[in-house]
Structure 1
Amino acid sequence: MKYRRLDAKDHAREHFKGIWAACLNPWREDGSFNEEGFRSNIRHWVDDLSIAGLFIAGKQGEFFSMTLEERKRNIEVAVDECGDTAGTIFSASDQNFETVVELALHAQNCGADYVVVHAPVLHFVSQQDEMLYQYYKAICERVDIGIAMWSHPDSGYVMSPQLCARIAELPNIVAIKYSVPRPLYVELTQLAGDKIHVSTADEGAWLDNIEELGWQLYLCSSPPYQIQTKADQRMNEYTRLAFAGDFAEARRVRDSLDPVREAFRRTKPADKPQAHGKYWQELLGQVGGGVRPPMLDLTEAEKAATRAAFAASGLRV
């Protein structure tokens, strides 16, 4: 651990900022974890794209299809490969409480910087606030590592800004990935932005959130390595300009990426997000691979449409 439990918020305020990317996991043809490919991707993301930190084994990474040992190995590899050059945050999310604690302790012991814990799916529950507060409180009491909440509609509900602000008072809650409509994350920023980092995965809103809400952390999705290359780092550039206060130029650079965003968006099948993201990675020269059940791979026609859109997007490779 690089900090004590009671210092988690201060550590995150100083170190948990910039652009963090959610990693897709490369599987081999037989479905096994391609560790060498993952390491190769990390080297590109960190060395060539200067990504500040990586979100390991989240929904993008298909954690739901991984064994417990595979998830542990995923973070071990990332911590080893990132070293001191980039941060790591690991999804310890699970429906089983003891598994969450086990994964969070593993991340803590192998040198990860932070963990993410999704709001769990709750069956037969219509008033969940007290249950969720006690859930996060119990996790915080079992581990020292800084924890980022994650609230999204996949849980069957969305945590309110007021509940999130209450949980934010816990000593090692350091951030939230808040996958909600903008009015909700604006409200939470006003309520608890001095205690935790509030962030959302919408890259298109990142600049506005820096300018209007004072955000310092993009947490996190795949655009940092899907709309950027070693030769074309416009997301990094508009972020740098925004942090420097040059918002007019930052908006010009951000808006120049609209053709790339549109090419990615219109070729992504609604039921194949990971498969499409991995194929796009392959077009960029990264290691992609297939997906595991229950996810679906792209058809040849979908790949052809993606190739054509990629070639016409204006992204320099």
Structure 2
Amino acid sequence: MNYSRLDAKDHARDHMRGIWAAALNPFRPDFTLDEDGLRANIRHWIDDLDIQGLFIAGKQGEFFSMSVPERKRNFEIAVDECAGRAGTIMSCSDQNFDTVIELAKHAQACGADYIVVHAPMLHFVTDPDDTVYNYYKTICEQVDIGIAMWSHPDSGYLMSPELCARVAELPNIVAIKYSVPREMYVRLTRLVGDKIHVSTASEAEWLDNIIELDWKLYLCSSPPYQIQSKVDQRMNDYTRLALDGKFDEARAVSQSLQPVRDAFGASRPGGKPQAHGKYWQELLGQVGGPVRPPLLQLTDAEKATIRQAFETCGLRV
């Protein structure tokens, strides 16, 4: 690690910036991890799309269907391919707390920049705040690496802005991926100032959050490599314009992406987000592959619908 636990916040404030993308994991037809395909995707994302950081082994990456050794290998490949050219944040989320710590320690040991851990599902708990605070506090005490919180509806509750601000006081908490209604993340941003990065996964809200909330980090989902190509990088373009204070120009570029956003969203079957995302990647020339069971594969008819949307959305490839 290039920083100590007590320096984690300062390090993240200086280095955890720009557009970070959540990686989908390519699998082979026999459902083994396609390591060569993953490496090829990472090189494309960094070299061609200038993505500043990668979120590895998260929900997009189907971590729930991967063994602990596979998740560790996923970390190692990302660190090796990024090689200091892009940041890494490893998802160590798991319902088993020992697994969270095992993955966190491995991420730290293999050279990851940060980890992310989502708030746990809590059975029978009706007042989660003290339990969730202690959850993150215990993780912080066992590793030195910078940690991002992650609150989303899948946990069965949402961390309040006040709880998030309380957890943000822990020394190696550096960010939060806050998948909540906008009024909640606006409140948290005002509560924590620049103490930690606050972000959300919605690309459609990213520009407003740069302009209105002075956000510096997009953390993170798959749009950075799904609505962009080597020759069409409008998300990068509007981001740079907005960070340079050229808000009107940035908004015009962002608005031009709306047909791409609409095509992507309208063509996605409700129960197959990862399968849809991987097929869209393939249409862009990236490595996709199947999803792992028990997730559902796309039908031929669904692929035809997606292909039609892709070919008419205006994204240049």
Q: Same fold (TM over 0.5)?
A: yes
- Residue in 2 that maps onto 1:97: 97
Q: Distance in 2 between matches of 1:81 and 1:244?
A: 30
Classify the secondary structure of the residue corresponding to 1:139: helix
For residues 226 and 61 of structure 2, the distance between their equivalents in structure 1, rounded to whole angstroms, comes to: 15
Q: Equivalents in 2 of 1:127, 1:103: separation in Å? A: 28
Match of 1:44 in 2: 44
Alignment deviations for residues 262-285 of structure 1 (CA, whole Å, 9 cap, x no partner):
110000011000000000000000
Shift of 1:294: 2.0
SS at match of 2:176: strand
Query: Shift of the alpha carbon at 1:98?
Result: 1.2
> Which runs of structure 2 are paired with 1:1-317 in the superposition (5 Å)?
1-317=1-317
| 1:3-26 deviation per Cα after TM superposition (whole angstroms, max 9, x unaligned) | 001000000000001000000000
Task: List alignment gaps of at least 5 residues for structure 1.
Answer: none
Distance 1:122 1:315 in 2: 42
1:28-76 deviation digits (Å, cap 9, x = unpaired):
0000000000000000000000000000000000000000000000010
Q: Deviations over 1:136-160 (max 9, x none)?
A: 0000000000000000000000000
**CA distance in structure 2 between the partners assigned to 1:306 and 1:96 by the alignment:** 37
Cα distance in 1 for residues equivalent to 2:252 and 2:126 = 45
State the distance in 1 between where 2:271 and 2:78 align: 28
Tell me the SS of whatever aligns to 1:159. coil
Partner AA of 1:309 in structure 2: A
CA shift digits 1:188-220 (9 cap, x unpaired) = 000013210000000000000000000000000
RMSD: 0.4
Taking structure 2 as the reference length, the TM-score comes to: 1.00
How many residue pairs are counted as aligned between the two chains? Answer: 317
Matched to 2:32, the amino acid is: S
Matched letter for residue 272 of structure 1: K
| CA offset digits 1:266-316 (Å, max 9, x no partner) | 000110000000000000000000001221111100000000110000100
* TM-score (normalised: structure 1): 1.00
The DSSP-based 3-state class of the residue aligned with 1:295 is coil
Shift of residue 84, structure 1, vs aligned partner: 1.3
SS of the aligned residue for 1:285 comes to coil
Q: Distance in 2 between matches of 1:61 and 1:11?
A: 26
Point out 4+ residue stretches in structure 1 off by more than 2 angstroms.
Answer: none
Mapped partners of 2:207, 2:55: distance in 1: 20
List runs of 5+ in structure 2 lacking aligned partners.
none
Question: Cα deviation per residue 1:165-187 (whole Å; 9 max; x = unaligned)?
Answer: 00000000000000000000000
SS of structure 2 residue aligned to 1:21? strand
Q: Provide the identity percentage.
A: 73
